[in-house]
């Protein structure tokens, strides 16, 4: 398979040692464009590969899924991806393990390592938890969502979905012009969204303009600090008029921490429904990372309609996460990542 080059930031050394195992994916900011390209390219190669050949790529390798928060898409796709590559997986959840008895993240990671885990996929409610686990275990860690910080594999599969579905794009490569001329409107609970953050950090590097849209309590002005190529637009209908891609987000009730929202007002101003889509952005690609709350941020006719690529996002998760697992082990074109 095509060689993917070494990531300069992953190779950063502390006290003469690499800070994190080279195959870790902690943040999209750790990926060079060349590395994003390598991941997209291997993703395509994996999809074309014969099942038997794919199932030998990580045969005999052991991967732990360590989930402190609920997940359907990320957990299942990482697990199925690992199994399709021949790896053995084990799931450790905060609800049925010694985490319930108070065992720390560090000790849980060291225990998994002692049991033979060679890589850990971590979802955790605290921002930065994957960095701690990577430092303490020395294993490759894949960030499956940490608090309100990042969800890098989601941003990669979102980018792939856009490159596949928008006309005239190449889904096998990432350059500073891959999404040139594309405006992506991300609407909803930006404040609590690690998906919004990872996308706002990645998409402008591929040439896209990112408009963040939502009410002040869910979208503080400080979101502009995410970097160049990001703009705030409060009026959803104005944002629709500029959009080629609409990414809708759920209101994360579990993270609102006392914040009271007038849901009727929110729906009136920010819900993506069929009428609004037809009037404002009839050709826009509609995305949602899930889980969706139909009837709140998006209506069923839009979620199931012809503009929607929501199911495609989910299935893209399998192939992209397969590539990330190969990268974690430094195989299948990623040998230089852990060299
Ligand atoms: N997009 C996403 O992270 O979904 P899950 O919470 O179901 O994994």
Ligand 1, atom 4, residue with closest C-alpha: 73
Domains (range + CATH), the chain: 13-150+317-330 (3.40.50.1370), 152-314 (3.40.50.1370)
- This prediction has a pTM of 0.94
Q: From the alpha carbon of 289, which atom of ligand 1 is closest? A: 1
Q: What pLDDT sits at residue 253?
A: 78
For residue 14, the CA-to-ligand 1 centroid distance in Å is 33
Q: What pLDDT sits at residue 6?
A: 39
- Residue 291 beta carbon below 6 angstroms from any ligand 1 atom: yes
- Residue 73 beta carbon below 6 angstroms from any ligand 1 atom: yes
Q: What pLDDT sits at residue 225?
A: 83
Q: Are 224 and 266 in contact (CB under 8 A)?
A: no
- Residue 250 beta carbon below 6 angstroms from any ligand 1 atom: no
Q: What pLDDT sits at residue 9?
A: 45
pLDDT, tens only, 30-39: 999 999 999 9
Ligand 1, atom 5, residue with closest C-alpha: 71
Q: What pLDDT sits at residue 86?
A: 98
- Nearest-10 crossing angle of helices 310-329, 152-165: 120
Pick out the chain residues at pLDDT < 50: 2-12
- Residue among 291, 311, 321 to mutate when testing ligand 1 (max atoms within 8 A of CB): 291
Q: What pLDDT sits at residue 226?
A: 81
Q: What pLDDT sits at residue 337?
A: 87
- Residue among 67, 68, 70, 74 to mutate when testing ligand 1 (max atoms within 8 A of CB): 74
- Residue 84 beta carbon below 6 angstroms from any ligand 1 atom: no
Q: How far apart are CA 138 and CA 127, in angstroms?
A: 19
Distances (CA, A) of 325 to 99, 242, 257, 338: 25, 36, 35, 13
Q: Which residue has the tokens 């080629």?
A: 244
- Residue 54 beta carbon below 6 angstroms from any ligand 1 atom: no
Q: What pLDDT sits at residue 19?
A: 83
Distances (CA, A) of 329 to 117, 153, 206, 298, 305: 12, 16, 26, 39, 39
Q: How far apart are CA 280 and CA 282, in angstroms?
A: 6
Q: From the alpha carbon of 77, which atom of ligand 1 is closest? A: 8
- Which residues does 334 contact at the CB level (< 8 Å), separation at least 6? 4, 23, 38, 42, 326, 327
Distances (CA, A) of 131 to 19, 106, 168: 9, 11, 37
Q: What pLDDT sits at residue 257?
A: 65
For residue 90, the CA-to-ligand 1 centroid distance in Å is 19
For residue 133, the CA-to-ligand 1 centroid distance in Å is 21
- Residue 77 beta carbon below 6 angstroms from any ligand 1 atom: no
pLDDT, tens only, 322-332: 999 999 999 99
Q: From the alpha carbon of 74, which atom of ligand 1 is closest? A: 8
């Amino acid at each position: 398979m095509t060689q993917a080059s070494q990531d300069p930031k992953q190779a950063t050394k502390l006290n003469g040692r690499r800070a994190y195992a080279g195959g870790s994916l902690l943040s999209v900011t750790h990926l060079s464009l060349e590395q994003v390209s390598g991941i997209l390219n291997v993703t395509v190669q994996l999809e074309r590969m014969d099942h038997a050949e794919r199932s030998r790529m990580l045969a005999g390798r052991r991967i732990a899924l360590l989930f402190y928060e609920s997940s359907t898409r990320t957990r299942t796709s990482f697990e199925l991806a690992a199994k399709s590559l021949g790896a053995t997986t084990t799931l450790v959840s905060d609800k049925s393990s010694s985490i319930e008895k108070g065992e720390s993240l560090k000790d849980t990671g060291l225990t998994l390592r002692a049991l033979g885990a060679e890589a850990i996929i971590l979802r955790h409610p605290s921002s930065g938890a994957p960095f701690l686990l990577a430092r303490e275990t020395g294993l490759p860690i894949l960030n499956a969502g940490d608090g309100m910080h990042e969800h890098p594999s989601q941003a990669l599969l979102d980018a792939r979905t856009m490159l596949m579905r928008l006309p005239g794009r190449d889904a096998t490569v990432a350059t500073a012009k891959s999404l040139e001329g594309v405006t992506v409107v991300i609407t909803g609970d930006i404040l609590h969204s690690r998906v919004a953050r990872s996308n706002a950090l990645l998409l402008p590097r591929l040439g896209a303009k990112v408009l963040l849209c939502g009410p002040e309590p869910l979208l503080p002005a400080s979101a502009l600090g995410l970097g160049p190529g990001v703009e705030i637009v409060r009026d959803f209908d104005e944002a629709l008029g500029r959009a080629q891609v609409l990414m809708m987000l759920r209101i994360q009730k579990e993270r609102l921490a006392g914040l009271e929202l007038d849901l009727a007002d929110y729906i009136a101003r920010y819900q993506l429904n069929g009428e609004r889509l037809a009037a404002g952005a009839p050709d826009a690609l509609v995305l949602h990372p899930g889980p969706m709350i139909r009837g709140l941020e998006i209506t069923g006719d839009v979620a199931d309609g012809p503009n929607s690529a929501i199911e495609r996002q989910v299935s893209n998760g399998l192939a992209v996460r397969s590539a990330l697992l190969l990268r974690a082990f430094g195989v299948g074109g990623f040998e230089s990542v852990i060299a």
